[in-house]
A = this chain, B = another copy of it.
Amino acid sequence: MKQKLDIIKIGGDLLDKPETLLSVLKMFSENKNLKILVHGGGKSATKWSEKLGLKPKLIDGKRITNAENLEIVVMIYAGLINKSVVAQLQSLQCNAVGLSGADLNSIRANKKSNPDIDFGFVGEIESIHISNLNVLLLSNFCPVFSAITHNGKGQLLNTNADSIAAQLSIAFSFTYEVRLLFCFEKSGVLFNSQDENSVIPILQKQNYLALKEQGIIKDGMLPKLENGFLALQNGVREVCIGKPEIINGNTNLFSKLSL
């Protein structure tokens, strides 16, 4: 039987308030399975960009990462947030090691190609190097990933954290029984975004496609669900979305994906 591995993505509002983040990291550190944490950036990159007088560059509502934006996200995601999270996990007796995809050549990506828009230094994941990461897991180290990858030629790339979590899950599902958890401030995928009690407990792919078509599921939920279904289709045992209480099974209110 394969050993269990939990890959846990935290994002959204969970990262922006220090006391919320600490409580999430407590829950994470109490989970005794082998585990990997993946964190997004919350609102901090925007906050620091504003401090520096940089305006977000958007084309068709999509964020563009130019050279200056890339420096900011590397500083914030791989530096400030990642190392703060690691220091806090260490204080909670979790032997964390903060990584970007460049570290140990763990996640290689290519610049996202799109015929219409040049997104700049945004990476689409090409490959995951499992063997180096497995050395860490087998030593009971806990990898903590920021959403930065590299192209193998010295270039760092800004990469979607949900994709990193899903691709890590898929890559590890050959050797582990992987559970992928997307944690954020809501209780799951909601029928009505204003009603926390409207959680869809089991979301089947065909229902997801219909709800997306109707515009009921939208925005930031789409990359989580696209990545979540991709993971399920590629060997990941279980994919759940909800509040961080799902990490240790301390809530019945969450959404579980189903094919």
Q: Which residues of B contact A96 (CB under 8 A)?
A: 102-104
| Alpha-carbon distance between A152 and B153 when the two chains are bound, in angstroms | 35
Chain B residues near A95 (CB-CB < 8 A): 104-105, 132
> Bound state CA distance, A96 and B104, in angstroms?
6
Mark each residue of chain A from 56 to 94: 1 if its CB lies under 8 Å from any CB of chain B, else 0: 000000000000000100111111101110111011000
Interface residue ranges of A142-172 to B (CB < 8 Å): 148, 150, 152-156
| Chain B residue at minimal CB-CB distance from A90 | B105
Q: Is the CB of A100 within 8 A of B103?
A: no
A131 to B77, CA, bound (A): 28
Contact with B along A112-154 (1 / 0, CB 8 A): 0000000000000000000010010001010000001010111
| A97 pairs with B103, CB closer than 8 A | yes
Measured CB to CB, the closest approach of chain B to A30, in angstroms, equals 16
Residues of B within 8 A of A225 (CB): none
Is A1 in the interface zone, CB < 8 Å from B? Answer: no
Determine whether A98 belongs to the interface, using a CB cutoff of 8 Å to chain B: yes
Tell me how far the C-beta of A94 lies from the nearest C-beta in chain B, rounded to whole angstroms.
Answer: 10
- In the complex, how many angstroms separate the beta carbon of A25 from the nearest chain B beta carbon? 9
Given the complex of chains A and B, what is the CA–CA distance between A98 and B84 in angstroms? 15
A152 pairs with B91, CB closer than 8 A: yes
- Name A's B-contacting residues (CB within 8 A): 51-52, 71, 74-80, 82-84, 86-88, 90-91, 95-100, 102-105, 132, 135, 139, 141, 148, 150, 152-156
Q: Could you jot down 8 A-B contacts, CB within 8 Å?
A: A75-B76, A83-B100, A86-B100, A86-B102, A87-B155, A95-B132, A96-B102, A97-B104
